Structure 1
Amino acid sequence: MLKVQEIRELIKLIDHSSIEEFTFEHDGSKIKMKKNTGTSVSVVKTVGQPVEIPSAEVVHKPVVQEVPVEKAATVNAEVIQEKVEIESVTDLHKITSPMVGTFYESPTPDTDAYVKVGSKVSKDSIVCIVEAMKLFNEIEAEVEGEIVEVLVKNGQLVEFGQPLFLVKPE
C-alpha cells in the first residue's frame, strides 16, 4: 500500500503533467486520479472492505461513479456542446505534430502567437514551433483556410500525430 506522502507526490506529478487520467492498482487497492476537465463530475461513495493504512487508520475503499454530463454545471454543458459541434464537422483539416516535443505558439515568449482562432493561413504559413531535442521546428499549415480551434496550450508536450489545430479549408 502506498503511503500518504507517496500519494501526495503522485498527485503533484499528475497535476504538473499533460496526463488527464491515472490509475494505479496494487494488491487489491486501486487509486484513480482524474484532472478536472469540466466534462463530468465524480462522486465518491465509501463502500466495501476496509483498506489498511500503515498509520492504523481504517478507510473504506472508494467507488467512483460518473454523474451524467447533463447534471453537471450549465457552463460545462455549454462548453461540451461547442466541442461536439466543432468535432462533428467532418470537413475540418487537422494540423498534427510531426514529432514528439514541446508546442510553442510564438517564436519568443514576448511576441504574439503565429496564429489564433480566426486567423487565415496559406499552405506555407507557419502556425507554431515544436521543440525536440533543443531544435525548434517550424510547423506549416499545409492547407489554405481559417483556424477554427487551437487544440493545445503553449508549452504543452505533444505526441507524434497529435492534432494541434483545426482548420476550415477554403
Structure 2
Amino acid sequence: MLKVQEIREIIKLIDQSSIDEFSYEANGTKVSMKKQQEQVVTEAVQPQQAVQAQPKPQVQEPAQSKEVEQEPAVEEAPKADTSSSDYDAEIKSPMVGTFYVSPSPDQDAYVKLGDDVKEDSVVCIVEAMKLFNEIEAEVSGEVVEILVKDGELVEYGQPLFRVKSK
C-alpha cells in the first residue's frame, strides 16, 4: 500500500510534468491522477477490508499557488530575533493546504518559539479538502522561528518552522 507521503510526491511530479494522466495499481490499491484545466485530481481506491483511514482526493490549483507565492508570509508571521545562520533545518509543508498551530481553536499550539521538538513530534496541522493532516518535525532541535500564521494557506515544500539542532 502506498504511504501518504509517496502519494504526495507523485502528485507533485505529475503536476510538474507534461503527463496528462497517471494510473497505478498494486495489492488491491489503485491510484489514478488526471490533469483537468491545469489541476491535478487524485483518486485513491482501497479494497473493502482496509481499515486504515486513507487520504481523500486532493486538488492542487496552480492559479491559487501563484497568489500564495507572491505573499511574503515570512514578514507577517511571528519571529524570534534570529539571523539566517541561527537555524540548522526547516520543517516544510508536505502538501498544499491551510496551516493550523493547534488541534482546535480552544487548545494550545503544538509548539511555540523556544520549544524542543523530536523527529516524531507533531508541530502543526495542514488541512486539505477537509482532511486534517498532523505534520511531524522530522528533525530534532529547538524551534527558533515560526514562518506561517495560523489559518494561512501554505504550498507544498513551503518552510513552516526553522529549527536549531542542540
TM-score scaled by structure 1? 0.51
Deviation digits for residues 49-72 of structure 1 (CA, Å, limit 9, x no counterpart): xxxxxxxxxxxxxxxxxxxxxxxx
Contact 1:18 1:156 (8 Å CA) reproduced: no
Counterpart Cα distance in 2 of 1:18 and 1:109: 26
Which position in structure 2 is the counterpart of 1:106?
102
Tell me the number of residue pairs that the alignment of Structure 1 and Structure 2 aligns.
96
Counterpart Cα distance in 2 of 1:152 and 1:20: 11
Q: Which of the numbers 127, 131, 156 marks the counterpart of 1:131?
A: 127
In the alignment, structure 2 segments of 5+ residues that lack a partner are 1-67
Return the letter of the residue paired with 1:119.
Answer: D
Counterpart Cα distance in 1 of 2:154 and 2:106: 22
Shift of 1:20: 3.0
- Percent identity, aligned pairs only? 63
Runs of 4+, deviation exceeding 6 Å: none
Q: Which of the numbers 48, 56, 71 marks the counterpart of 1:20?
A: 71
Which one has a larger percent strand, Structure 1 or Structure 2?
1
Shift of 1:143: 1.2
Q: Where in structure 2 are the equivalents of 1:29-48 lying within 5 Å?
A: none
Shift of 1:19: 4.6
Shift of 1:92: 1.7
Q: Where in structure 2 are the equivalents of 1:51-62 lying within 5 Å?
A: none
Contact 1:18 1:157 (8 Å CA) reproduced: no
In the alignment, structure 1 segments of 5+ residues that lack a partner are 1-16, 22-36, 39-78
Higher RCO (Cα < 8 Å, 6 or more apart): 2
Secondary structure of the structure 1 residue equivalent to 2:151: coil
Contact 1:149 1:167 (8 Å CA) reproduced: yes
Name the Cα RMSD after superposition. 2.7
TM-score scaled by structure 2? 0.52
